[in-house]
């Protein structure tokens, strides 16, 4: 059975990560995603490092299951083709800097003239208004402004640190995909399309508030974050390789003391309650680390698991691929790409019981589906050739 979004057409004008990942999520769920790219190079990630046969890993990992159409939207003929395509679409996603889409003739008003009920999505870095709106934006800048780098440091007085993965881009993608689905559901009920505006800064600050902004929640009673709860990560050295273990409840704390053969910790006044254990977290974690250095990771994981203590091995990227839990869940899949050869990728995280969709189609070559899509729009072979000739001349 086709994926749950089968029958919806999404026109993707985005590049880099946040927009392409959002539309790939929807493509994986069955939507017909048509990626419109500039014939002069296309999406910037096509030129990224780590490539094979002209395809970069970055492009392939964010543009699966899409069709690629190459159009120079500065050309009137290409812009006319774009508007004809949009007249058949349910969603348009663009992540140009604020104001650029309007100058291209693809602002909301122009698009709604041909597709009144379309869901129009604008993804930006810092938002559409304000002193930072026109700044060029990359992930580290959003980590800096949102407070994420300060949170990662552990305290306001320590040197800020970046999270070593592009959290803002990917969070924005998942927020955008969910919002698009919600807007399509609303349109099914009301017949009305909406304009979704989403910035990377919005996405990260909303993400942080759930667990990291409690100190700023009560107005008038804000707590300065001058000191960290702990500078010790829940990653422990053992006699062999590192492991992670974490305890929250009293039951888990008791289980940890038994697994580590440290019954005296139960009588320690610093650790009598969850609140006291949090207050004295550095002492508690240092004692735990000292105990865990005495045995191998394999021994500790077995003992901790039997005792009911949440624990897991700490794996490298390559070791993760062969972890028995990852294999049991079928998380990593291998496919054959017509140009890039055999690929290894993570399957879509959400699995649907009744609408699983077809086999994954690897990222398309630049303009691979231009003629196919234009033919679907009613262009004749001669018109397609003429448009292609104008594109090449431009």
Catalytic residues: 169
Radius of gyration of the chain (CA): 26
**From CA 287, how far away is CA 388, in angstroms rounded?**
69
Q: What tokens does 320 get?
A: 């993760």
Q: How many other C-beta atoms lie within 10 A of the C-beta of residue 292? A: 21
Burial class (CB in 10 A: 0-12, 13-18, 19+), 43: buried
């Amino acid at each position: 059975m086709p994926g749950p979004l089968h029958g919806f057409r999404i026109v993707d004008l985005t590049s880099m990560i946040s927009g392409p990942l959002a539309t790939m999520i929807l493509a994986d769920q069955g939507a017909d995603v048509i990626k419109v790219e500039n014939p002069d190079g296309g999406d910037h990630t096509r030129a990224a490092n780590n490539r094979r046969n002209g395809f970069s890993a970055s492009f392939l990992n964010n543009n699966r299951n899409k069709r690629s159409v190459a159009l120079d939207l500065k050309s009137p003929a290409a812009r006319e083709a774009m508007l004809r395509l949009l007249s058949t679409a349910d969603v348009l996603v663009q992540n140009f800097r604020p104001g650029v889409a309007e100058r291209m003739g693809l602002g909301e008003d122009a698009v709604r003239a041909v597709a009144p009920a379309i869901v129009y999505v604008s993804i930006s870095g810092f938002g559409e208004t304000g002193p930072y709106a026109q700044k060029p934006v990359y992930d580290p800048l959003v980590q800096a402004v949102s407070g994420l780098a300060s949170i990662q440091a552990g305290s306001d007085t320590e040197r800020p640190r970046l999270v070593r993965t592009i959290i803002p881009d990917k969070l924005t993608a998942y927020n955008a995909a969910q919002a698009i689905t919600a807007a399509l559901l609303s349109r099914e009920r009301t017949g009305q399309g909406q304009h979704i505006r989403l910035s990377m800064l919005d996405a990260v600050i909303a993400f942080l508030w759930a667990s990291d902004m409690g100190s700023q929640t009560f107005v008038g009673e804000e707590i300065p974050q001058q000191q960290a709860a702990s500078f010790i990560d829940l990653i422990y050295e053992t006699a062999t390789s590192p492991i992670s273990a974490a305890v929250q409840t009293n039951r888990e704390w008791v289980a940890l003391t038994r697994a580590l053969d440290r019954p005296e910790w139960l009588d320690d006044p610093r650790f009598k309650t969850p609140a006291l254990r949090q207050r004295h977290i550095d002492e508690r974690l240092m004692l735990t680390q000292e105990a865990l250095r005495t045995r191998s990771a394999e021994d500790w994981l077995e003992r901790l698991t039997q005792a009911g203590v949440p624990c897991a091995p700490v794996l490298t990227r390559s070791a993760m691929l062969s972890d028995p839990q990852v294999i049991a869940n079928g998380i990593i899949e291998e496919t054959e790409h017509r140009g890039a050869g055999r690929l290894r990728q993570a399957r879509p995280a959400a699995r649907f019981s009744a609408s699983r969709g077809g086999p994954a189609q690897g990222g398309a070559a630049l303009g691979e589906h231009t003629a196919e899509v234009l033919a679907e729009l009613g262009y004749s072979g001669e018109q397609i050739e003429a448009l292609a000739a104008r594109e090449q001349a431009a």
